[in-house]
């Protein structure tokens, strides 16, 4: 197994129970940073409902973890922020605050994705930010290049629409917004999906890759969490991928930051530095759950030393929910499903470096603790970095949790 370094500063944020998780973890050239937020070591929010102040605090947490692992802001390749949506102006404020904390970087800055949520796990908590950075194993700075398209998402310096470092490529999430601020195909999840995936494809092409190099896809759909509302749009987007496609996570949202926007999507891709395609191994464990329609995505995808596991849920082989409404039981099923995918590669939970948990509910800390305590039992300390985010509902009726992760051999 590749050596790992972990960073968990004393007194850093805590959700109120002991978890076998780290705040930062480096493996190979990659550094993963778990969700950082305005939460003290005593599980208290210091600046309730103050989005600007909390963005600064979360970014300071990201930078502190980077420093603890021998890196800095210039090594970041991706930032993702989950924020409580209160105004259409929230995203401009968040990007401004994040950019100020990053400073004037030498070379391309990170890609960025903003995800609006309705509430968070703590009363008054407005934002949580996670990140990925890359630094050479001997401490050297790694060169990177950026890709831009004229109709891509508008970002302030130093962010990039897409950035490449070695064989890794990260995109900022794209929407159907036009450069003049208008929204193409307002209200159509189906047609906006095709627009967005076209933008992502062109960003990848600018970095010598294409959609068939995607290893992980993340999509946030505006729809009410019913199969019939997302199936056709999912099928249309799927047509852009060759099989085996990437691992994928799809999350339902009540809204994005502007009325008429229906989805936001980003991808991670991998292509060899000499331009050749990288071999990939895809797995689908026998008897594993399936979607109600055929999609090209795989539960697990291994490229080089990296394994990407798409969002795992508590479903059966026909897409029916197992243990409807029971979050602890569904969490165990999702974690067990992750273990089955890992086992197909000869791996186990000790190989996991990053885990994301999206759970349904609006009870705040209660729902987080109900699934976090179950998840913690699957790891021996010190565990991977972790981010947990609540949503009012997920893609299936009565489904309460979706968990994805990244592992490294």
Displacement of CA 112 from its chain's centroid (Å)? 10
At residue 398, the 3 state secondary structure works out as coil
CB atoms within 10 A of CB 371: 25
Which pLDDT band, with edges at 50, 70 and 90, does 277 fall under?
Answer: very high
Are 131 and 148 in contact by the 8 Å Cβ rule? The answer is no
17: confidence class by pLDDT, cuts 50, 70, 90: low
Work out the average pLDDT over 281-285.
96
* Mean pLDDT, rounded, for 347-372: 85
- Chain centre distance of CA 10: 26
- Going by their DSSP bridges, the two strands 352-360 and 385-391 should be labelled as parallel
The 3-state DSSP class for residue 205 equals helix
CB 233 within 8 A of CB 190: yes
pLDDT beyond 60 at 3: yes
pLDDT band at 306 (very low <50, low <70, confident <90, very high): very high
Report pLDDT digits (tens) over 363-402. Answer: 567 777 778 889 988 988 888 999 999 999 998 889 999 9
Q: Mean pLDDT in the chain? A: 93
Model-level pTM? Answer: 0.96
Task: Give the full edge-to-edge strand order of the sheet including 111-117.
Answer: 4-7, 24-27, 30-37, 127-134, 76-84, 111-117
Residue 167 has pLDDT above 70, yes or no: yes
Rounded Cα gap, residues 294 and 272, in angstroms: 29
Separation CA 99–CA 101 (nearest Å): 5
**Nearest-CA neighbor of 224 among 253, 193, 251?**
253
Q: Are 208 and 163 in contact (CB under 8 A)?
A: no
Confidence band for 231, pLDDT divided at 50, 70 and 90? confident
pLDDT for residue 69: 97
**pLDDT the model gives residue 16:** 65
* Distance (Å) of CA 212 to CA 163, 197, 268, 369: 17, 12, 11, 38
Give, in order, the Cα–Cα distances in Å from 56 to each of 1, 40, 62, 96.
36, 14, 10, 10
Q: If you write DSSP's letter for every residue of 44-78 in order, what string do you get? A: --SSTT-HHHHHHHHHHHHHHHHHHTT--GGGEEE
């Amino acid at each position: 197994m590749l050596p790992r370094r972990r960073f968990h500063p004393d007194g850093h944020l805590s959700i109120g129970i002991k978890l076998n998780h780290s705040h930062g973890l480096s493996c190979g050239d990659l550094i993963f940073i778990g969700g950082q937020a305005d939460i003290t070591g005593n599980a208290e929010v210091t600046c309730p409902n103050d989005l600007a102040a909390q963005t600064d605090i979360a970014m300071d947490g990201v930078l502190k973890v980077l420093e603890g692992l021998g890196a800095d802001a210039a090594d970041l390749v991706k930032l993702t922020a989950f924020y409580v949506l209160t105004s259409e102006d929230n995203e401009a404020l968040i990007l401004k605050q994040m950019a100020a904390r990053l400073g004037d970087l030498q070379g391309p800055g990170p890609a960025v994705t903003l995800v609006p949520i309705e509430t968070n796990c703590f009363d008054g908590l407005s934002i949580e930010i996670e990140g990925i950075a890359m630094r050479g194993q001997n401490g050297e700075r790694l060169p990177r290049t950026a890709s831009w398209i004229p109709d891509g998402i508008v970002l302030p310096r130093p962010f990039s629409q897409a950035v490449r470092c070695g064989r890794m490529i990260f995109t900022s999430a794209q929407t159907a917004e036009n450069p003049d601020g208008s929204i193409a195909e307002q209200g159509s999840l189906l047609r906006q999906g095709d627009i967005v995936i076209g933008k992502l494809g062109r960003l990848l092409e600018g970095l010598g890759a294409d959609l068939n190099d995607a290893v992980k896809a993340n999509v946030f759909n505006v729809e009410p969490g019913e199969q019939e509302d997302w199936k056709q749009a999912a099928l249309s987007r799927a047509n852009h991928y060759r099989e085996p496609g990437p691992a994928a996570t799809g999350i339902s949202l009540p809204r994005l930051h502007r009325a008429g926007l229906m989805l936001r999507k980003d991808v991670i891709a991998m292509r060899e530095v000499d331009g050749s395609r990288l071999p990939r191994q895809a797995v689908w464990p026998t008897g594993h759950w399936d979607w109600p329609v055929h999609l090209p995505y795989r539960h697990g995808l291994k490229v080089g030393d990296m394994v990407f596991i798409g969002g795992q849920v508590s479903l059966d082989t026909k897409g029916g929910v197992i243990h409807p409404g029971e979050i602890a039981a569904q969490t165990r099923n999702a974690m067990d499903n992750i273990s089955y995918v890992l086992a197909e590669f000869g791996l186990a939970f000790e190989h996991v470096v990053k885990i994301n948990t999206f759970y349904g509910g609006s009870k705040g800390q209660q729902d987080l603790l109900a699934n976090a305590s179950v998840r913690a039992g699957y790891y021996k300390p010190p565990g991977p970095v972790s981010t947990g985010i609540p949503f009012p509902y997920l893609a299936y009726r009565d489904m309460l949790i979706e968990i994805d992760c990244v592992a490294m051999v």
